[in-house]
Structure 1
């Protein structure tokens, strides 16, 4: 059980595996101000940057779960680097269906609601690990602009327009699921650029070092097409944010 190699190639230099900057992550932490000792569960945690930096900055404790052995290894190394390895731990495993024995104060799934599957299922999953009065963090894309045609939808990486909601529709969905939206931090176009454009350099450096790898042709084709697709579609039409929810 692991993540396909193409993902770890693309995001080899990233600390955050979403269109979210370190400054926005820190700002979100300051906004909700978790008290020292706050227990956090982060499903599909990637390289563990949320847990590690919030353990350093706010004194939280907790567990991250991710399917990628590479990302879990990077998360553990980051915890050591920041001096928080005694407060946070990381599990290699499938986040789908992962439930903690002792309820947590914050349950997060930032950018991977496919584990639910979907927003509704993910909220339901997080609730099963959440203590009464706790917070859920959901990272999710939305339509920043309504796509005009099928080419735009597919250029943004989706099969159908209704795979995503607009921001007002997404906020309404959270309410329909029994949640109050108590905070949100949204990505902007620069956030998308930093996330996506950094992948291009990662791919190019990997190609230069691995010209004969079995993935080389696939990654070369990706590098040749994604900058234009990003500028034409993703940058203009896709929004993304982290939404802080509490049950009614």
Structure 2
């Protein structure tokens, strides 16, 4: 079974949410969707399972999370036990690429991992394969807050070209072109980016202190040297992120 590169799990080993959504934003999204007890949710690339676990606790949903990281799946199962929802949520250690639920679900989600479908369009199509008629898709996706002025900015925001991401109006239009109504959205803010990125710095520093002889030490040390300044220069200023609730027309 493939797994995430260790660099990624070092950075995010203690994250509950593996994107710039705060726990408060995740709760806002759950309330905005008027979730009812028994709602069935599939979360592809679920990370540490915070959405499923907290929504099971707060709204009585049931569901399945799938993630390629053995560390994150273990964290998700522990979180379900901590919140006493292990009878409502189930976590699968598997590659989410091509994963389809055995039975149709009410909500199919992929928050911030649209590479599992080869991009935004492919991921929407993949999620549709698990969705009951009239169900809802949740897609988390970056967008340009400001148009990047140069290629350096593009690359520091984890893109290859400017066209890898859209502006927010372009992104909403793209959902319409896929035959979807956008029925809700909750957007991350700069504080959310700070919480996501800065937690990576602390995780990395603690790992460095504990693993001076690890083969990744020099790489992670060099990354931490640059990461705070690069974050405030580029990602924090130019890159937005949001979760968009979609229903087929």
TM superposition score normalised by structure 2: 0.99
Which aligned runs of 4 or more in structure 1 are off by greater than 6 angstroms? Answer: none
Counterparts of 1:108 and 1:120, CA distance in 2: 14
1:46 aligns with 2:47: yes
Counterparts of 1:3 and 1:89, CA distance in 2: 20
Counterparts of 1:157 and 1:180, CA distance in 2: 28
Question: By how many angstroms is 1:101 displaced?
Answer: 1.5
Counterparts of 2:23 and 2:232, CA distance in 1: 22
Q: What CA deviation, in whole Å up to 9, does each residue of 1:38-91 have, x standing for no partner?
A: 000000000000000000000000100000000000000000000000000000
Counterparts of 2:153 and 2:67, CA distance in 1: 31
- Quote the residue 1:190 is aligned against: 191
Question: C-alpha root-mean-square deviation of aligned residues, in Å?
Answer: 0.5
Question: By how many angstroms is 1:98 displaced?
Answer: 0.4
TM superposition score normalised by structure 1: 0.99
- Quote the residue 2:208 is aligned against: 207
Counterparts of 1:131 and 1:186, CA distance in 2: 26
- Quote the residue 2:38 is aligned against: 37
State the number of aligned residues: 248
Counterparts of 2:45 and 2:174, CA distance in 1: 22
Unaligned runs of 5+ in 2: none
What does residue range 1-248 of structure 1 map to in structure 2 within 5 Å?
1-248=2-249
Q: What CA deviation, in whole Å up to 9, does each residue of 1:168-190 have, x standing for no partner?
A: 00000000000000000000000
Counterparts of 1:143 and 1:116, CA distance in 2: 21
Unaligned runs of 5+ in 1: none
Question: By how many angstroms is 1:24 displaced?
Answer: 0.3
Question: By how many angstroms is 1:155 displaced?
Answer: 1.4
